Amino acid sequence: MVGDNTVAPGGALSVSGTGFVAGERVAVELHSTPVTLSLMTADATGALNATVTIPAGTEPGEHSIVLTGLDSKRTASIGIVVTQPAVGAASLPATGAALPVTLMVLGGVLAAGGAVLILRSVLRNRKAS
């Protein structure tokens, strides 16, 4: 029923099932706390195949994928394991942009120019007194 029983949050799983009514709508849910991942339609033989995405915020641990026929009420489920997100995948969001090098150089030049003006003013005042 599931292509691989281990997946990281935000990852995809291949899901398949048989024994549903031909043309029946089938809900695919992730359980611990039920989350609908997809609504699919069974083919003429009552089978279905699809790829679903595990929500990015899913807690790591054991969960179940549950298929439910909306007309027949037939259900099928299988256990899966949601792993820890990949290293670096859950980093803090960027809250600002990096300053371009030219902007930093311009700021340095302006600061140096301001320092030169202040130094000239101080030296001019010393000569005057």
The predicted pLDDT at position 95 comes to 60
Is 30:65 a contact under the CB 8 Å cutoff?
yes
> CA angle 71-79-53, nearest 5°?
75
- What is the model's pLDDT at position 87? 64
Tokens at residue 49, please? Answer: 């195949």
Q: What is the pTM of this model?
A: 0.63
SS3 track for 42-86: CCCCCCEEEEEECCCCCCCEEEEEEEEECCCCCEEEEEEEECCCC
Q: Please tell me the distance from the alpha carbon of residue 60 to that of residue 53, in angstroms, as a whole number.
A: 15
CB-based contact 63:4 (threshold 8 Å): no
pLDDT in 10s for each residue of the chain, 129 residues: 556 788 999 999 999 999 999 999 999 999 988 999 999 999 999 999 989 999 988 999 999 999 999 999 999 999 999 998 766 555 555 565 666 778 778 888 888 888 888 888 888 888 776
